[in-house]
Amino acid sequence: MSRPRDTPRLEWLLGVLGLALLIAGVSYLAYQGLARPSKPGALVVTVIDIHSVGDAHVVKFSVRNDGSENLSHLHLSARLSDGDREIEAAQAFIDYLPARSEQRGGVYLRNDPRRYTLRIDPAGYMEP
C-alpha cells in the first residue's frame, strides 16, 4: 500500500495567498460600504466644444458624477443669456450616470453660444 503524499509547500503557500487576497477584497468592500458616507450626485458639467451644424450650433459637454450614488434620468438645462435676458434654452437627458464616472452629450441651439453667456446646469435626476 502506498502512503498518501503530504501537501506540497507551494500549494499551501498559494492557498494562504488566495485567502489573504479574499480577506483584503472583502475588507475593502466593507470599508467602502460602511465607513464612507453616501454622497448624492456631485455633478460637474464642462463644455468640451461648440460646432456649427447647418442653421444650429451643437454644444458638446461632459458631465462628471463625483458623488457616491448612481443617477438615472439626469435632466440638464442649457441656457443662453445676455445679461439678465434669456436668449434661448435647451434640455438634455442622460439615462444613467454611475458614481464616480463621466458621460458626454450635446445640446442644439439656434443662436451662437459663443456670442452669449452659456450655462449648463443639472436640473434633476431619479434614483435607479
The pTM is what? 0.71
Per-residue model confidence (pLDDT) at position 3 = 61
Domain locations along the chain: 7-36, 43-126
Sign of the dihedral defined by the CA atoms of residues 106, 110, 111, 116, in that order: negative
Coil vs helix vs strand at 80:
strand
Copy the grid coordinates of residue 88: 434661448
Pick out the chain residues at pLDDT < 70.
1-4, 36-37
Query: For residue 107, with 0-12 CB atoms within 10 Å meaning exposed, 13-18 middle and 19 or more buried, which class applies?
Result: buried
Per-residue model confidence (pLDDT) at position 127 = 85
Per-residue model confidence (pLDDT) at position 35 = 74
Distance CA 80, CA 89 (A): 6
Q: Domain spanning 43-126: which CATH class is it, in words?
A: mainly beta
Q: Could you report the per-residue pLDDT of 99-121, keeping only the tens digit for each? A: 899 999 999 999 999 999 999 99
Per-residue model confidence (pLDDT) at position 128 = 81
Q: How many helices (H) and strands (E) does the chain have?
A: 1, 6
Per-residue model confidence (pLDDT) at position 37 = 67
Per-residue model confidence (pLDDT) at position 4 = 63
